[in-house]
C-alpha cells in the first residue's frame, strides 16, 4: 500500500520569501550564510524540540513537525541518520524545520495516497505546504551565498552534507525563479 501524504493549501510564497525566512532562521541561530548546519545544535539554539517516537506510532513516516509545540517528531532511524550526517536524513530534517518556520498555523489537511512527498494534483504547487517546505529545506541548507562561491557541484554537496542532485535541484529552482522574474 502506498504511503499516505499529508498536504494542505497555504498562501503563496515566492522562492525569495521562502529564502528570506530560512536565512532569518540561520541568523537567529548565529550562523553565517556559508556555515554548515549541525542539526542538533541548530535546534537547541532555536528552541526546537526533537522527540523520538516508535515507528509504530508514526504511520509510516520517518518524521513530522507540529508547530503549536515547536517539535519535530522522528523515528530512531532519522535521529541516527542525522548523527551520522546522512544527506537523506539531513534533507528530511530541514524539510520539517521549514514546515515549522513557514506553516505556523494549522490548516485543514487533505489525505492523498502516493509515493513519498510529491506534488499533489489538486493543490497548485505554489500553494502546497509540502512543496514550500521542500523549497525551504533546500534554501536552509544551500543559501544563495553558498552557491556563489565558485565551487563545483560535488564540492558544494560535500561541504554542506547533501547530494549533488540536491545542489543541482536548488540551482535549477533559482534559475527558474530568476527567469520568471526577468520577464
pLDDT in tens, 92-102: 999 999 999 99
Domain limits of the chain?
3-182
> How far apart (Å, rounded) are the C-alpha atoms in residues 175 and 81?
31
> How far apart (Å, rounded) are the C-alpha atoms in residues 144 and 23?
10
Sign of CA dihedral 8, 11, 16, 17: negative
Residue 59 pLDDT level (bands cut at 50, 70, 90): confident
- pLDDT above 90 covers a percentage of the chain that reads 74
Asked whether residue 89 carries a pLDDT value surpassing 60, the answer given is: yes
Average pLDDT of the chain to the nearest whole number: 88
Q: How many residues does the chain have?
A: 183
Backbone angles phi, psi at 48, to 5 degrees: -95, 125
pLDDT in tens, 101-145: 999 875 543 333 344 555 545 788 888 999 999 999 999 999 999
Strands 49-52 and 71-74: parallel
Contacts of 142 (CB under 8 A, 6+ apart): 156, 160, 162, 166, 167, 170
Asked whether residue 1 carries a pLDDT value surpassing 50, the answer given is: no
Contact 102, 133 (CB under 8 A): yes
Amino acid at each position: 500500500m502506498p504511503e499516505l501524504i499529508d498536504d494542505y493549501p497555504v498562501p503563496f510564497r515566492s522562492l525569495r520569501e521562502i529564502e528570506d525566512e530560512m536565512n532569518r532562521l540561520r541568523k537567529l541561530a548565529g550562523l553565517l550564510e556559508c556555515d554548515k548546519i549541525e542539526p542538533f545544535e541548530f535546534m537547541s539554539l532555536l528552541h526546537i524540540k526533537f522527540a523520538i517516537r516508535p515507528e509504530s506510532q508514526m504511520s509510516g513516516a520517518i518524521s513530522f513537525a507540529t508547530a503549536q509545540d515547536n517539535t519535530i517528531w522522528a523515528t530512531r532511524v532519522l535521529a541516527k541518520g542525522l548523527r551520522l550526517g546522512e544527506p537523506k536524513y539531513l534533507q528530511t530534517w530541514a524539510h520539517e524545520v521549514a514546515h515549522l518556520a513557514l506553516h505556523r498555523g494549522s490548516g485543514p489537511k487533505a489525505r492523498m495516497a502516493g509515493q513519498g512527498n510529491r506534488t499533489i494534483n489538486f493543490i497548485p504547487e505554489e500553494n502546497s505546504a509540502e512543496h514550500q517546505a521542500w523549497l525551504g529545506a533546500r534554501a536552509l541548507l544551500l543559501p544563495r551565498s553558498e552557491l556563489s562561491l565558485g565551487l563545483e557541484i560535488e564540492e558544494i554537496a560535500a561541504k554542506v552534507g547533501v547530494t549533488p542532485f540536491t545542489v543541482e535541484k536548488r540551482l535549477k529552482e533559482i534559475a527558474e525563479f530568476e527567469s520568471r522574474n526577468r520577464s
